[in-house]
Structure 1
Amino acid sequence: MKNSKCTNAFASLMAASFAGAIALSACSNDTISTDRIEGPVSEDSTADSSKDTSKAEYKTYDVAIAIQRLKFKDETAILYELDESFDLTGREFTEKKETDSTFLFEGIKLRSPYAFIKISGKVQSTYYGDGYTSSVIPFVTIVANLDKQPIMPSQLTTIEGELLIQNLKKGVPYDSALALTRESIQKAYLLKDKVNSKEFADFFECYFNYTGTWHDSTFTKEGEWKNDSVKAMTALRHRELNDMQIKNGCFEKSIDFFGDAFKLGPCGKDNIGEIKKNELPYGAIKNQHLYCSQDSGWLEMPLSYNDTVGWEPGHDGEIRKGDYLKTSYYIYDSLYGGWVDFFDPDTAKGPCVTSNKNEIKSTPQGYYYCNPVRDTTRIVNVWSFIYVIETALKEEKLCNSKNVILTVLPDSGTIQFCDSNATRDTTRELSLLEQERQVTQCGTSDTLVRGSIDTTKWYFCTGGELNNAGELERTIGRICKKGNEGYAQVNYSLYYCNGFSWKLSADSMIVDSFIDARDSSTYMTIGIDSLIWMSHNLRFKTDSSWCYADTTVDCETYGRLYRREDNIKLKKDICPEGWRLPTLTEWENTAAFGRSWYPKEPDFKIFGSTSGWIQGSLDPHGKDLIGFNAYPAGSRNANGNFSNITESTQFCTAEEDNDGNPTFFMLTRQNKEGFLAKTSRKAMSCSIRCVKE
């Protein structure tokens, strides 16, 4: 650079480039000429041919671009001339990298200070293990005002280029157009706090360095994401940095971006642990369930969850293939209380569950024992191989470093275990079922039989084999298996045999209705185990009862709130004729009944109504799995203040604790077992449910 002014500018540029990856500086001789412009013209120019560009006022510029932190191969810089309307004129200037650190454009004549600059090459990236990208890519572009010094091109200037031109064409001054453009991008990325220009540029600089991804045609001219796919795949790249535990500060400001891109909503302190399904068909997480983590935003649930989500409880030992990838197998372990990974679904060995832990099976390949693994890293049931030694203690090396079962003496019931590099003998006692099978002969018909060894136990003979009979099967009188599908009623609940096990029926229930003769109100009823309940709150008006907030609009849905002291303790006829208040024990038994059939669901989901709960939360309503239909009616305190409608409900009982405080049965969203007894002041009000006498 011959111009002393440009030399000084170039020195400043080099200093700036050491602070950032790339810096651009330009200077002119401040003279204006109207001579004919000579310069290379692009063959595929999109310039407006109606404009006469043969003669125009122009300045002569020297432009330098310095690259420090980033490494290129096969790099090229192209400077495209823009006119005062920010359209391409068709003139362009190309420079190969002249030194190890700079591109130089000397003495170029431009009609305006505006230029579109693109730098391409094979770029070194952490994403490629510090190797280079496999092909030449456009790494940085910039819409530059060469009269503004210096300029720091980056990934940010690359994605803002198209938006910036649109704002400039609207007549917005350059600085204002740049600010407006960056505000649009910041909004698109859901950056939580307003950041300065260097932080903003660094955000995209580190993005490329760690992901090797090029922002090409990311946004529309209106500043919106081009489509859901572009947004979602960008969000996946962002989250890769969290998985790699890169703590560079660039991405912490946009933790909500992933949830927004995949339409999951925000992840914050109010919904830690919430699980939602991704419905968008992009990337490796399509159709997967994710949970809100405390530190890293939305993360995938384990494969076992995605494989088994929505499965009802099975029968002990039932084996199924996963629904998601359809490659893994799962076994229902009734003592564990759910579906468990099963690594060896070999029909010759049969099921391996907690109830037959350490059971030994002989196969042509050798002996195996049932090994349910329960530790902090995995929960899995597997048949583990046992190394068989035909003669006990004749081998010197009976143990290995893993201290697992090494030897078994066939037909003796004795197993050799490793214990600190020494052996100890244990005698494996036959299970009660195995003992019963030795003394009970089964025919081919299905028969319910009492145990011979323990007469309190019951068994089913089915298909010539003796199996444990559950309490429900004993009550119904038949085992559930293929060919026995159908419904059966026990007390006031219906059960369905699906060919594997009996389940509480969710699609068919024992429902009815009755009319309260006192005020002609109609109430629906539901059978639950041994009781028939009202499935709506009482609405009968008494002197000390209120609609929530004294408005009748909510009474039809939520029922009335009754001052317990006046309505329960003194009036025995608060329920309609033929109905009564449930005891505390009946409340507790009903809660336990629902939990026994849906052990993985919180009480709020089991008993809560499917509408009427708080609207501001994600997944707000219950599932009403057993038909109880508990509405969040709220409460009224001794001072007449109403609270908690749409959030919780508390039901009256006729009982008190030892101190004379009334007992309520409360349902809330706050914890898993949220349907439980509480005590409160006598003047508090509550909802009423009645049971049939």
Structure 2
Amino acid sequence: MRYNLYKLFSTIAVVSLTFVACSSDNDVAGGASGDAGVVAVTDREVAGVTQKGPFLVGSSVAIQELNGLTLVQTGRSFRSSIKNDLGDFSIKGVNLSSQYALLEVNGYYRNEVSGEKSKGMIALNALTDLKDRSHVNVNLMTHLTTDRILALVQKEGMSFAEAKKQAEREVMTSFGVLDDLGNGEDLNLFAGDGGAMLLAMSVLMQGDGSEADLSERVSHVATAIVNNGIWNGDEKTEIADWAFQIDAVIKKSKKGGSMLQLIRENVESWQVVDSVPPFEKYVNKFWAHEYGLGACDEKNLYEVKSNTNELSQYYRNEFVCNPDGRWSLVRMREIQSSLFEEIQDKADGEHYKVMKIGNKQWMAENLRRKSNAFNKGNDISYSTCYDEKQSNCDSYGLLYEWNAAAQLCPEGYKLPSISDVKALLHFYGGEGKESAQKLRAADGFGALYGGLYEEKLKDYIGGFYYTGIFEYLGLHEVANYWTESPAFLLRIDSLGARLDSVDRRLLGTPVRASVRCVKDEQTEAETGFIKERVCDPVDKNYCNDFPIYYTVINGKKWMTENRTNELQLVETNYEVCYDDEPWCSEDNRYDAKCSMISSKECLYSWEDAMKVCPEGWRLPTRSEWEALMGDSPYVNSQGENGIYTMYFTDNFSLHDISHWSDEYYVSYANSLGLSIKPAGYYEMGYEKVEFGAAFWTSSDSSSTDAYAFMLVDALAGTYIMKVADKRNYYSVRCIEK
């Protein structure tokens, strides 16, 4: 293998040097109009440094004499070996018939990417003019320009100096560098901008491949450049994608940074210089150039541009110009600390930017937490990358089914409520195109067009229908964010920003969308429990402490459980809720029935509902129930008992759906902590069990009727306030007086 690698590079050099155009005996290399003439080199000491990473001690180095007229090797050479692990060499007593020489180095080297010594040998060349120099460095720049210099001299008639200058400019341009950083023979990995560029080139050519991969890649690049001075194609884009990824925290360094940081740590460990030059900026310039992003400086700070390279796996992904002069994915943007803070998700260690928008703390990045914790007896994941491609997760985070999204926010954060989303839209100017542009600004919310996974629609005359086929749609075109209601999404696209409903037929299907979490402002001080002393109203000897759990909403304490039969909480001989006759107590001291979801929870007539709250608590009024709906949309409708108000909310912040029959929704936790359960109610019989609930208010409209607050569709989260017969049986929630 070592012999074959050496043979590969030697063959390239020899074949290249035989491409000599016909010339007269009076010509010198480059033509009569070029160099003044052939100059012999006499008793010269030639020294330098050999670097891919530095070649290791014992590697061989040779100077091959070239004919001054044809640049063909004469067969005369001077050889030595590398004298230390820094790649230094020195050859004394060099005598050449012309100033033109080919330097060859072959051996092992330090690998910047792996941090280890290479396991195989490579060969690098340098074509030089020794007329006015005795110091020659051999590196990737000199190697990649060697054949191109020969081609320009022999085919284009350029002088050696002109050909060398053009070849070096072409190579640097191929690596996204437009500055003149000096002659290749003067470049050193550890000195100045030229060294930074050379180190970046070394990292890019090495990649994550072996020595054989490196040799093949270098050969491909040299061949492309020798033909027309341009290196392009699939392989170059693959290198660009890898270069972007190593700066995107795809692989962590020892100090917790990116893989690019790890490479820096590797080079620093060689202890060659006190400060390794900033090669990272040239790595970034390379992939930014390949992505068509252009320069990044103070003139276009926070500008957002799309990757235009169709060969890239990040094609059409959006990048932002950061204050440090480098491009990054919008989600990885670096904004001044006055706008952003950072939190860590304790579940997986991921860090997220968060920012204050209005009076709410929002995550400014899409959720990236991976989870397979929602399986139904098989290996189904409820979260995924768009199109199952990791590059899309790198850019946009994961897409989640709603039931997974509802419990994967970092600790202290939750899915936004309908009101949260409306406040967000209001902050940015309401629904429409203007707010969409502001929501997508990189120095703000930074919404990402991460697409959606949903059922495919097919048009037909007069409408459309669902095909039953689920597919990924809308990448680079639309952002979709879950709310706490599975029936509503925040949707942002070219048409604007708006709160969109999910078609009812899609609820419960594997629809997947992005997630932005909002800080849960409910603190421990706003929730808790107190104890109430409760005694058997018949036999006062039977007493017990009765815990009352509460949550604070709009500054008022609400019980978080439906009112129960007090006798269940003390040691009595009373049996309640017989299977054959579901009364709440044997002697029927309350006019009540048990709810169908728990024998401990009772449904009361209005008159008894007014009596059952413990001391210091009372039945809420109609307006207090309505205040819980906030600014939810509503309409007045005509019902059997006259006008009633219906709230079209799809708002799940009030009720706890853990008792639903559909297992898809088992994991939901309500955001206000009121924990309304779909217990149903009793009118002419039990109704809406598992899909609705009803609560008495203290507000009556007549001697026979009172207002009731009802959850009429738990799946859609729709509530109504209506007038009801006081003889109906509804649940009771108490509020502190």
TM superposition score category, shorter chain reference: 0.3 to 0.5
TM, length-normalised to structure 1? 0.39
